[in-house]
Structure 1
Amino acid sequence: MSRKRDEQYDERIKSLYGEGKSIRQVADAIGKSYGFVQMALEAMNVTRRKRGGNHRKPATAATADTAK
């Protein structure tokens, strides 16, 4: 597959991954393989998150107070 054709997925991959979806979840959403998404992220110079665990943004002081 040529890189030109791959570019049609770039914005969707970047957006889904930026929303906190895992590489596997992004791959499933666009109907491509894990490796395809991984290579696309690398080609776009997207910083990958560490493996495992909770990747949500930490709560701010305002939301932490209301959660009690």
Structure 2
Amino acid sequence: MSPLPSSGAGFFHLEHEGAMRRKEKAKVIDEVAEALENAEALFVSDYRGLTVAQLTALRGQLRQQGATLHVL
């Protein structure tokens, strides 16, 4: 695995099946916009092929570095 950033946020964009209500979409957009404004770095990735255990391990490694992983 490549070195992790010392700080910042990691975002992983996923395709989501199912409809979100307009208010839910607006809330998610506001939350993502706020996180992006505060982020020092941004990573976009496709999670397919990773197991739940691998994603959990990645989240733990990112947390140790002061970063977060968000699945959208």
**TM-score normalised by length of structure 1:** 0.32
If each structure's helix is expressed as a fraction of its own residues, which one has the higher value? 1
Q: Which has the higher contact order (CA 8 A, sep 6+)?
A: 2
Normalized per residue, the structure richer in strand is 2
TM-score (normalizing by structure 2): 0.31
Question: Which of 1 and 2 has greater Rg?
Answer: 1
